[in-house]
C-alpha cells in the first residue's frame, strides 16, 4: 500500500517536527525558505492527505478543491488562524490543528521587549550611539515614560494577553485594565480590571493588542480609537496588522495624537522599505518575531506534526491541539 502524502509548505521547518513525519509519510516539500508561490502550492497540493502549513499560506476553497478528497488534515504552525477558511474546512470535514500554548511565553516576552523598546527608545538610542550622536550624558536625551505607576490596557485576554499581564506585574504598574467579551479568571494573577474598550482606550498609558484577527476585529482600531487615547499613549500591536486601520494609525503618529507605537505586525508583511510607517521616528517596527524563540519554534513544529500524524494514523482524538470548528 502506498504511503500517505503530506505537503510541507516551507523549507526551513524545525527538524523536531519533520522527523515525526518523515518515517511515516511521503513528504512533498517546498524546499525554499520563502513562502510557496500560489501556482506551486496549487500544483503540489493535488492528492495530498495532509498539509503542514504556516501563517503565510492562504488555505481557501481553491486550495481545498484542488487538493481533492484525500485531504484529511490541515495543521498550521501558528496560533493565528486568519489565513484558513475554517468554514470551508469544516464543510469538507477536514481536521484542523494549530499551536497555541507553546508560543505564549515567547510572544509575551517579546511584547514586553517591544513595549520597552518603544517607550524607552532602545533601538533609536543604539542607532544614535553608532552614528556618533552620543556627545555626553544628557538630562532629557532619549527619555521616555516608565512603566512604574502607569496604567496598562490589554485588549483581548487570551493566553498571550494574560501572560503579558503577569510579566508586567513586577514592573510596579499601577493598574492593569483589560477588555474582552467576558471576565477572565486569569486576570486575578495580576489584579487585572475588566473594563469596556472605551474606558481602556481613554485611561491607559500603554495599550497592548493581543486579540485574534476575525471579521469582527478587522480594523477595530481606527481614527475614533486613536482620538480617544491619551496624547501620551503608546500603542503596541503583536496580533495582526489588519486589526488596525493603518492610515489612521499613521495619521495619529504623524500628528502626535499619541506618543508612539510598537508594531510586530503590520500590513503588508513584509512592509515595503519606502512605506510611510518607516518614515516615522515614533514607531518601532519588528518583522513579526513574536514567537521567534528557538524553543517555541521547535515545539510549534512538533505540535504541527503531531496534529497531522494523529489524523493520518486514524486517531484524530489524539491531536494535541485541534481547532474546534
Ligand atoms: C502565530 O502563531 O499566529 C504568530 O503570529 C506567529 O507565531
**pLDDT tens figures, 293-306:** 999 999 999 999 99
- Contact 78 CB / ligand 1 (< 6 Å): yes
Indicate which atom in ligand 1 lies nearest the CA of residue 238.
5
**Domains of the chain with bracketed CATH:** 5-100+294-318 (3.40.50.720), 104-285 (3.40.50.720)
SS (H, E, C) the chain: CCCCEEEECCCCCCHHHHHHHHCCCEEEECCCCCCCCHHHHHHHCCCCCEEEECCCCCECHHHHHHHCCCCCEEEECCCCCCCECHHHHHHCCCEEECCCCCCHHHHHHHHHHHHHHHHCCHHHHHHHHHCCCCCCCCCCCCCCCCCCCCEEEEECCCHHHHHHHHHHHHHCCCEEEEECCCCCHHHHHHCCEECCHHHHHHHCCEEEECCCCCCCCCCCECHHHHHHCCCCCEEEECCCHHHECHHHHHHHHHCCCCCEEEECCCCCCCCCCCCHHHHCCCEEECCCCCCCCHHHHHHHHHHHHHHHHHHHCCCHHHCCCECCC
Nearest CA, atom 3, ligand 1: 80
Could you tell me the three cell numbers for 201? 482606550
pLDDT-derived band at 77, boundaries 50, 70, 90? very high
Confidence (pLDDT) at 162? 98
Percentage of the chain beyond pLDDT 70 is 100
Percentage of the chain beyond pLDDT 90 is 99
Indicate which atom in ligand 1 lies nearest the CA of residue 265.
5
Distance from Cα 35 to the centre of ligand 1, integer Å: 15
Confidence (pLDDT) at 1? 73
Distance from Cα 11 to the centre of ligand 1, integer Å: 18
Whether 269 has a pLDDT exceeding 90, the answer reads: yes
Whether 318 has a pLDDT exceeding 80, the answer reads: yes
**pLDDT tens figures, 93-106:** 999 999 999 999 99
Annotated active-site positions, please? 288
- Contact 55 CB / ligand 1 (< 6 Å): yes
Q: Which pTM value belongs to this model?
A: 0.97
- Contact 80 CB / ligand 1 (< 6 Å): yes
Distance from Cα 78 to the centre of ligand 1, integer Å: 5
Amino acid at each position: 500500500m502506498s504511503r500517505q502524502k503530506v505537503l510541507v509548505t516551507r523549507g526551513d521547518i524545525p527538524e523536531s517536527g519533520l522527523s515525526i513525519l518523515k518515517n511515516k509519510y511521503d513528504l512533498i516539500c517546498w524546499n525554499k525558505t520563502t513562502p510557496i508561490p500560489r501556482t506551486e502550492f496549487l500544483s503540489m497540493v493535488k492528492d495530498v492527505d495532509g498539509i503542514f502549513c504556516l501563517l503565510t499560506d492562504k488555505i481557501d476553497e481553491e486550495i481545498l478543491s484542488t487538493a481533492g478528497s484525500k485531504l484529511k488534515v490541515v495543521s498550521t504552525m501558528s496560533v493565528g488562524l486568519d489565513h484558513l477558511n475554517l468554514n470551508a474546512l469544516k464543510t469538507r470535514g477536514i481536521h484542523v490543528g494549530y499551536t497555541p500554548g507553546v508560543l505564549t511565553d515567547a510572544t509575551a516576552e517579546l511584547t514586553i521587549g517591544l513595549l520597552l523598546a518603544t517607550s524607552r527608545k532602545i533601538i533609536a538610542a543604539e542607532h544614535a550611539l553608532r552614528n556618533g550622536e552620543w556627545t555626553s550624558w544628557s538630562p532629557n536625551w532619549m527619555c521616555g515614560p516608565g512603566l512604574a505607576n502607569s496604567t496598562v490596557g490589554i485588549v483581548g485576554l487570551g493566553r498571550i494577553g494574560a501572560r503579558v499581564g503577569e510579566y508586567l506585574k513586577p514592573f510596579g504598574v499601577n493598574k492593569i485594565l483589560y477588555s474582552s467579551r467576558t471576565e477572565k479568571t486569569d486576570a486575578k494573577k495580576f489584579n487585572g480590571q475588566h473594563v469596556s474598550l472605551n474606558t481602556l482606550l481613554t485611561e491607559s498609558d500603554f495599550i497592548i493588542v493581543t486579540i485574534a484577527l476575525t471579521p469582527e476585529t478587522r480594523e477595530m482600531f481606527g481614527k475614533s480609537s486613536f482620538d480617544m487615547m491619551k496624547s501620551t499613549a503608546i500603542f503596541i500591536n503583536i496580533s495582526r496588522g489588519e486589526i488596525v486601520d493603518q492610515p489612521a494609525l499613521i495619521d495619529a503618529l504623524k500628528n502626535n495624537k499619541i506618543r508612539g507605537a510598537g508594531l510586530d505586525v503590520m500590513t503588508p508583511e513584509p512592509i515595503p522599505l519606502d512605506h510611510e510607517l518607516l518614515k516615522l521616528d515614533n514607531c518601532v517596527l519588528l518583522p513579526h518575531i513574536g514567537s521567534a524563540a528557538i524553543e517555541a519554534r521547535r515545539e510549534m513544529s512538533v505540535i504541527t506534526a503531531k496534529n497531522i500524524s494523529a489524523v493520518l494514523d486514524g486517531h484524530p482524538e489524539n491531536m494535541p491541539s485541534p481547532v474546534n470548528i
